[in-house]
Amino acid sequence: MSEPVPPALSSELESSPELSRRQQVLAQVDDTATLQLLQALVRADSQNPPGNEHLAAIQIAAALTELGLEVQTVEVEPGRPNLIALLRGESEESLLLNGHLDTVVIGARQVWTYPPLGAEIDQGKVFGRGTCDMKGGLAAMAGALAAVVRAGVPRHRSVMFTAVIDEEVWFKGTTALIDTGALAHCTRAYIAEPTACTIATSLQGAAEFTARIDGVSAHTGMAELGRNAIFGMQHFTAALAEYNSNLRGIGAKLGLTVDPSVNIGKIEGGSGVTLVPDCCTIAFDRQILPGEDLQQCVTEINQLFDAVCAKYDLSGELTLEQSFPSWQISAANPVVTDLAKAHQLTGAGLAETTIFRAYAEIELLHRAGIPGAIYGPGSIVQAHRPDEYVHLAELAQATRTYALAIADFLA
């Protein structure tokens, strides 16, 4: 889903003082410094698990401290701090800029063409784990703050920048910010997940499950004396595949161009070729679109598991490991139109709205009463893959858009 957002431009907004301020802010953008910060962040290994986000937090803390922001690191777990920086203004009312420090694991290094922690530049792209998801976004936000500070923009309000731990697994970083009241004065939020510099006004939710089917072990020479748990699980995986096929068309009914889905991401069973496996487990998820009911989707999966077990006389257990609802905000909300205005005023044309086809902690912030939008450099298609990259042009575009959005909020 993609459509242009017409920002609320007016002759008043384009008056000489505001135009001059924006020109001064854009003139202070330092693409080289933003790129160097991104490279330092990528080289600070923060694969999750185990996390080690402090290595990346140090890089951002140094850059923002040098700018004069009030910077602190707050440990959520040993060696895993959230970074919180405040650009203080006359009012405590704050714009929240949020991103995560952790990345998914690198995986098999032999399938990478570029060093996964090298942050090498080639053909207008920066390659490495986390370049698009989402250290590029963090670097762009920090670069935008630097431009605003150097331009001397009046600070009638404040900006809070948070770089958090554990977004890729349990969301412990942003959850801690909410639970401790650190975001009490934030009235809007932007998250720099990779949207290729479009504005995501909705995102998919998900329910994540594990399923176990039990069997009876026996020597493979007398396999008839046992019960093969992998064969039993095969019935459930086939049922999930059929269920996934039946989800086609739901997106169109909700006015979206994508459908929900089921994906089996992991399977384990057995201990060797000479034993009938007595247990088989899978991990899978059900993606949930805006407009779908999370609890209904969970109920459907539970009913499917129970039906398969009853039909094939299987025993086992289905566990909902975690879930998070979908999210959506109106394209007419000021948090969206102001960002669209900033994007256009960089000379990039009208911003488009999209659905973000992954999880982002904007949904947690929404539940905490902070409206927001998602905008950042890089494509989510490149996330979690070998040779992950971000375009230098998108890094520069995001930095400028954020700089103007921050400046307008402060003034």
pLDDT in tens, 192-249: 999 999 999 999 999 999 999 999 999 999 999 999 999 999 999 999 999 999 999 9
The answer to whether 258 and 292 are in contact (CB under 8 A) is no
Instruction: Supply the pLDDT for residue 19.
Output: 80
Residue boundaries of the structural domains of the chain: 3-203+326-410, 205-324
Q: How many CB atoms lie within 10 A of CB 70?
A: 13
Identical fold, 3-203+326-410 and 205-324: no
Closest by CA position to 144, among listed 316, 27, 29, 248: 29
Higher-pLDDT residue of 18, 384: 384
Segment 173-190 mean pLDDT: 98
362: part of which helix (H) or strand (E)?
helix 362-367
Dump the DSSP string for 62-101: HHHHHTT-EEEEEEEETTEEEEEEEE--SSS-EEEEEEE-
Instruction: Supply the pLDDT for residue 45.
Output: 98
Instruction: Supply the pLDDT for residue 11.
Output: 41
Closest by CA position to 401, among listed 357, 334, 327, 349: 349
Instruction: Supply the pLDDT for residue 116.
Output: 98
Exposed/middle/buried for residue 66 (C-beta within 10 Å: 0-12, 13-18, 19+)? exposed
The predicted-structure confidence for 385-405, as pLDDT tens digits, reads as follows: 999 999 999 999 999 999 999
Segment 35-48 mean pLDDT: 98
Write the single-letter amino acid at 261. S
The answer to whether 354 and 376 are in contact (CB under 8 A) is no
Fold that domain 3-203+326-410 belongs to in CATH: Aminopeptidase (3.40.630)
Instruction: Supply the pLDDT for residue 5.
Output: 56
The answer to whether 132 and 388 are in contact (CB under 8 A) is yes
Instruction: Supply the pLDDT for residue 18.
Output: 78
Tokens of 345: 């005023």
The predicted-structure confidence for 289-340, as pLDDT tens digits, reads as follows: 999 999 999 999 999 999 999 999 999 999 999 998 999 999 999 999 999 9
**Is 205-324 a CATH 3.30.70.360 domain?**
yes
Segment 113-132 mean pLDDT: 98
Predicted confidence (pLDDT) at residue 141 exceeds the cutoff of 50: yes
What's the alpha-carbon Rg for the chain, to the nearest Å? 24
The CA distance from 387 to 383, in Å, is: 9
Higher-pLDDT residue of 1, 277: 277
Instruction: Supply the pLDDT for residue 17.
Output: 74
The predicted-structure confidence for 10-39, as pLDDT tens digits, reads as follows: 444 455 677 889 999 999 999 999 999 999
Instruction: Supply the pLDDT for residue 359.
Output: 86
Predicted confidence (pLDDT) at residue 119 exceeds the cutoff of 50: yes
Instruction: Supply the pLDDT for residue 10.
Output: 41
Instruction: Supply the pLDDT for residue 8.
Output: 46
